[in-house]
Amino acid sequence: MAECQKLVTEFDQVVRELASAGERIAAVRRTQEELLRSGHPFGVSIKAKGTDLQHLWSRVNEVANERQQALQGAIQVHKFDQDADETLGWLEEKEAHQVALE
């Protein structure tokens, strides 16, 4: 469980970096739109690069969301295992106590 928590903490840093990058992506996209509106002679190249940027940004966010869900799922499994082990131990203790009384 501690290892999962460590991974979540480390991944939180990645999420913060992505949030910061989101601001940068938005600024680049605004510049792209301005250049395209102004009829820049390299408009085709600018548009293609903007499309590549958007696709990669979407993919990075998708992978980050998948990773975040996987980490949360792993924490839930570890928590379940811990709770189940504690409950099994408690039940075995009660069973041993009942057998001793017989």
Give pLDDT tens digits for 23-35.
Answer: 999 999 999 999 9
Kindly state the DSSP code that residue 42 receives in the 8-state scheme. T
Query: Using 50, 70 and 90 to split pLDDT, how confident is the model at 8?
Result: confident
**pLDDT higher than 90, residue 9:** no
Cα dihedral angle (86, 88, 94, 99), rounded to 10 degrees? -150
Query: Using 50, 70 and 90 to split pLDDT, how confident is the model at 91?
Result: very high
Each domain of the chain, given as residue ranges in start order, spans: 2-74
CA-to-CA distance for 97 and 78, rounded, in angstroms?
29
CA-to-CA distance for 70 and 63, rounded, in angstroms?
10
**pLDDT higher than 90, residue 39:** yes
Distances (CA, A) of 70 to 25, 58, 77: 26, 18, 10
